[in-house]
Amino acid sequence: MNYTIAVIPGDGIGPDIVEQAKLVLDKIGEKYGHTFDYTEVLAGGAAIDAVGEPLPEATIKVCKESDSVLLGAVGGPKWDHLGGDQRPEKALLGLRSALGLFANIRPATMFKQLRDACPLKEEIIGDDGLDLVVVRELTGGIYFGKRGRDHGPNGEEAYDTMMYSVDEVKRIAKVAFDIAMKRNKKVTSIDKANVLENSRLWRAVVEEVAKDYKEVTVEHLYVDNGAMQLVINPKQFDVILTGNMFGDILSDEASMITGSIGMLPSASLGESKLGMYEPIHGSAPDIAGMDKANPIATITSLAMMLRYSFDLEEEALAIEKAVEEVLEDGYRTGDIMSKGMTLVGTKEMGRLIVGKL
């Protein structure tokens, strides 16, 4: 098969890590008989420098016409003085909305070889690492509801409104259940239904959607309990389904349990197969161009692309296995380095992973 991929290296370490990810994908193509055609496009600071805006129309067009989008990272101190709409990060929100990406998928996978980096006690994590996925609604809820300021009896006040429609909850719930079907068939929906009317609607809709997925076990947790359960018993989770704000907080909490920001991939999905895949970390300007960045989060983002956009499960697993083998051999970039391991740079880490495929 032939797949077209819009590639946005972006800023900082973006170009360093994307280069390695492309080498990995080329190797997958060679081994499994696919071709991946890349079209490199501008976004973020690189686009501001070249054409004066963070998300040029031409970039949106290429992304829409491609089978999928791979993004490194955007932003950096060079553009920090710019205001709101002109900032590099604006490109991310703009792309999500232009491509209709309403579901953010963030696996929190801890390779057993990196157990030392986990801040939780050994008896909580056990011997076999951690593997859960947070499915966060991305384009609704309190971040997009009506907001404003007013003058009340106590002086100035401000409000933000949390709003979800039945259809918005339905479509994100389906994403979570579909992912659970490919994993351990358990969905934990996290809300605040003891207080929020919005959450009561959320819960009822999730129950409705669950009827179409008889094999999947469904649980509901209040967000305060969910945050606590993530640190006292994270292994109970398979797929966590939640709204925009709770997901923002819980996905960061879940990723910190794994201990390393340079290891974690993410995907943003919509109604179609087109998705945007990117590491969860930023552009790390402090190590840009120094051959120090860990390319693994970007490389495992590609595994997600193969799995969710192209339905190439075997190829996705091959990438994840190659990463695990390189870690098992003791190779580490600076961010995940520990005593007795072998320190390697971005390029060498990429080469080692390609070598395992």
* Contact residues: ligand NAD, CB under 6 A: 13, 73-76, 89, 92, 261-262, 278, 281-287, 293-294, 297, 333, 335
Distance CA 220, CA 203 (A): 8
329 is known as an active-site residue? no
Minimal distance, residue 5 CB to ligand NAD, in Å = 18
Nearer to ligand NAD, 113 or 198 (CB): 113
CB atoms within 10 A of CB 321: 13
248 is known as an active-site residue? yes
Nearer to ligand NAD, 133 or 261 (CB): 261
- Contacts for 100 with CB less than 8 Å, ≥ 6 apart: 270, 271, 272
Annotated binding residue 140: no
- Contacts for 185 with CB less than 8 Å, ≥ 6 apart: 215, 216, 217, 238
| Strands 239-242 vs 130-137: parallel, antiparallel or unpaired | parallel
Distance CA 262, CA 47 (A): 24
Contact, 172 vs 102, CB < 8 A? Answer: yes
Minimal distance, residue 297 CB to ligand NAD, in Å = 6
90 is known as an active-site residue? no
Annotated binding residue 238: no
Distance CA 119, CA 285 (A): 26
Which is the catalytic residue, given 49, 224, 311, 329? 224
Distance CA 103, CA 176 (A): 9
Annotated binding residue 212: no
Annotated binding residue 278: no
Nearer to ligand NAD, 47 or 92 (CB): 92
Which is the catalytic residue, given 131, 143, 174, 347? 143
Which residues are annotated as catalytic?
143, 192, 224, 248, 252
Residue ranges for the known binding site are 76-89, 96, 106, 136, 224, 248, 252, 282-294
Q: Binding site for Mg(2+): residue ranges?
A: 224, 248, 252
